[in-house]
A and B are shown apart, each in its own frame.
Chain A
Amino acid sequence: MELKSREPLIFELSKPGRGAVTQFPPPVAGSAQVPANLRRKAPPKLPEVSELQAVRHFTRLSQMNFSIDTHFYPLGSCTMKYNPKACNTLAMLPEFLGRHPLGPEPQGFLACMHELQEMLQEITGMPAVSLTPMAGAQGEFAGVAMIRAYHRARNDSARTEIIVPQAAHGTNPATATMCGFVVKEIPCDANGDVDIEALKAAVGPSTAGIMLTNPSTLGVFERKIVQIARIVHDAGGLLYYDGANLNAILGKVRPGDMGFDVIHMNLHKTFSTPHGGGGPGSGAVGVSARLKPFLPLPIVGKDSGRYRWLTERDLPQSIGRLSGFMGNAGVNLRAYIYMRLLGREGMVRVAEFAALNANYLMKRLQAVGFEAAYPERRASHEFIITLKQEHKAYHVSAMDVAKRLLDYGFHAPTTYFPLLVPECLLIEPTETEAKEDLDRFCDALASIREEMRHDPEKLTSAPHTMPVRRLDDVRAAKQLDLNGAGSAA
């Protein structure tokens, strides 16, 4: 698909006195007025365009994007699967959209949220769930804050450290810091598992907990998880499960059964709510019985057939509120609809076909000459290709391959994450891609591999067919241009 090339800034289309006037409310008679000393002197420099100009401009901008609806998007660790249209259409029924969050407790909406809590409890093996965190990172925050509150409630103030494997996503250490903890990083072994000896040496009376992803960010299942759980629990710490990779194990193994005390889920990954160009997400948290009193508010409760919000009165030890109302309600509604569409049978198939697609693609890419980072391991729902040999031999980088893939009509996989594997591509095809699309992607990478040998310049100067070529990031950060309307009002 050809992407639209340049589109002027909306401000360049603006002319004083023009406007989409059918959108303006009719004037209301009356004398209400802002006092002179609090009044704005000059109108804000917002664009003045017709409705058609606005519609055309933003439609054209949309045509400058890759998206799941238009392109294969194998972005590792992001679970870019099909977002069913029904989830959006039904979550946007006028009654749902028009409901004020502080109105009387809405029994229809709350029924959906209560059932969503129950389904998430069942899937994760956790006895309680709060839907309130607004993104994965906020779910992480809630989880670690609950660990802190738990130790404090037991007057165990010596537990000031959170252990994080080196392969962890950057949010893990950032979250631990936000919660007032010191971060202790431990290494992984050559097979991608946590280094057990390093873990044993790291735990102690100052251990508050450990943050783990399983399957790990290296795309493999942490086989020693039961042993890890025992070591951390024996030291008095708790286990935090980063749900980034829940898609890999949905219905196959439950974090609660692995020994975790708290989990956050990325509903925008596993439960297919839209990524929206970077949000909104939703980061529900599930907890074991001992952390239940600390869950963030509000939560949906049910008393004698009636749904109601649980508040500080019900959970006086709660870590508190993380949003102005109840988190990303509309996102949660989309996740609910998705889960009901999949149902019991569909959920297990998510993990099964995500694994089938990932393992198939890994084998095919190995067959055309690419090196898997962990060839002895099963892929989970994703896997890592390392281009360190190609980098040495042809002086092309993982970034060059990623950019060249765009020319072939595929979104690039995640590059340079995890940081432990040099020149890596983290590839997650998801269960919703057909075999033919995986084959085409493999053919494209095989063809790029040929270009490496014969015409590496094709890669190093890629992309060639996008609206722009590679951008000057140094200039972007040095000569900051963040505002196109002129600085002050």
Chain B
Amino acid sequence: MAYIPHTPDDIAGMLEVIGARSIDELFDEIPAELRAGTLNVPAPLSEMEIARLMTERAAIDGRPLNFIGAGAYEHHIPAPVWAIATRGEFYSAYTPYQAEASQGTLQLIYEYQSMMCALTGMEVSNASLYDGASALAEACLMAVRSNRSSSSRRILMPRAVNPTYAQVAQAIAGNQDIGFVAVDFDRAAGRTLIEALKPYSGQDFTALVVQQPNFFGSLEEVDALTDWAHANKIMLIAVVNPTSLALLKPPGQWGAVIDGAQGADIVCGEGQALGVPLSSGGPYFGFMATRMQYVRQMPGRIVGRTVDVEGRPGFSLTLQAREQHIRRSKATSNICTNQGLMVTAATIYMTLLGPQGLAAVAQASMQRTADLVAALAKVPGVKRAFTAPHFHEAVLTLDRAPAAVLAALSRRGILGGLDLSERYPELGHALLVCATETKLGADIDAYAAALADAMNASRAAA
């Protein structure tokens, strides 16, 4: 029997202790009319059979050369990361409620929190949330709880923020009557201009969201945006890419120093780039950091360092009174766990890369994308869409619909980018492309050549 160790003797002996004649008798409290018949699911497979099936299914999907980013990034993952993260002691442990028997997981999360504070320049980080999009939704709810100068429950959401994140924030926070007001981006620069915010000066808003780099890969003028928000008593929610923070000014240092405080109020984002494989979109993890003054409004698990009864240092979950299992309907969120295993991988990844390695990854990714954009923009009918400086993603415009071009590239084993024409029809035939440190010069050349062919072919067809 699959994963069941009982022998016929065991079963007989156990039933005798229970005083039941059969296992079926153990279900006698379920009304007879509710009992299920035989399930219509497939017969069991052996491990050998399922291995064959999964290998075949995986082969169907193949291993294309990928130039899509848009919130999920292909980086090299050092071999130790998953070799250690999948050790049974991490993989098959649960939430560290029994602190004494979970010091490994707890210390690791404490180290993770410390690293995220270092990257973001913030005072305190939680133990992670589900993913980047839901972390933004939680950040919006947290801002509503935290901003005492605002009673509007309205949040400014630039259109240059990942549109799926905006959808998720609406789906989750919208149930609590929180409204989102869209802020347009500059068509030439591809970023959010302070002029677009000026009409809202002096009005009551809870928070302004700023994504850096934004969805188009462009770098926002974060200092000006932060200062405008704070001048209007609006909290600043930063959505950031953790790789980029090795090179970019951390959100804790955005804008001017006001009354001894500086920077974003809440920082969140997608942590996948830190050692988590693309794997069709999940599991990833969302991160969140804030200033100490808002720590009690922050959702999710938090680990603290303390001492045991003998004065030895140790770690435990803390500030649990915010959470659902104690606060019930008044909890900061209904979230129970973090994305523990992904955080384990990310902590090992950040340790192996260190400040130098992460900066090298960020710099190489930025350079490869610059090279990619330069190579593709030489193809007739292709040009850069925006003038703002970019990090490791950029928007191109084609002289025809991207769908057919992308399909042709796909047949040659290349994922050529994300078609933006549905998400941003006003940009015309726009394509979002990305290169990380994993794309070599030859890969970029191959893409440029294939794109030229695809453009030619569809020109000939037209």
Contact = CB atoms under 8 A, between A and B. Distances in A.
A435 B13 CA distance: 10
Contacts of A278: 94-96, 105, 127, 301, 337-338, 340
A403 B344 CA distance: 26
A122 B118 CA distance: 48
B96 A221 contact: no
Interface stretch (B48-56, B196-204, B230-238): B48-56
A425 interface: no
B21 interface: no
B326 interface: yes
A108 B246 contact: no
Interface in B98-131: 98-105, 107-108, 110-111, 113-115, 117-125, 127-128, 130-131
A180 B175 contact: yes
Interface string A222-248: 010110000000000000000000000
B323 to A, nearest CB: 8
Interface in A270-304: 274-282, 296
Nearest to B341: A276
Interface string B345-369: 0011011111111111101101111
Given A40-B249, A277-B340, A174 B327 contact: yes
Contacts of B284: 324
Interface in A1-57: 3-4, 6-7, 9-11, 14, 19-21, 23-32, 34-35, 37-41, 43-49, 51, 54-55, 57
B355 A48 contact: yes
Interface in A144-197: 145, 148, 169-171, 173-180, 183
B348 A108 contact: no
A321 B171 contact: yes
A176 B329 contact: yes
Interface of A is mostly: loop
A480 B318 contact: yes
A471 interface: yes
B89 A70 contact: yes
Interface string B378-394: 00000000000101000
B280 A134 contact: no
A226 B34 contact: yes
**Interface size class of chain B, counting residues whose CB lies under 8 Å from the partner chain:** 35 or more
Nearest to B311: A472
A201 interface: no
Given A343-B41, A344-B42, A471-B316, A109 B26 contact: no
Contacts of B42: 119, 340, 343-344
Nearest to A11: B114
B50 A97 contact: no
A258 interface: yes
B35 interface: yes
A319 B80 CA distance: 40
B360 to A, nearest CB: 5
A355 B86 contact: no
A340 B307 contact: no
Interface stretch (A202-210, A326-334, A445-453): A326-334
Given A252-B30, A483-B123, A97 B278 contact: yes
Given A37-B223, A278-B301, A324-B162, A477 B318 contact: yes
Contacts of B78: 20, 23, 51
A473 B306 CA distance: 7
A351 B279 CA distance: 31
A173 B347 CA distance: 33
Contacts of B258: none
B312 A6 contact: yes
A61 B355 CA distance: 22
B175 A48 contact: no
Nearest to A82: B3
A138 B334 CA distance: 8
Given A9-B111, A66-B93, A471-B316, A32 B281 contact: no
Given A41-B253, A86-B51, A325-B131, 5 more contacts: A10-B351, A40-B250, A68-B92, A171-B336, A349-B1
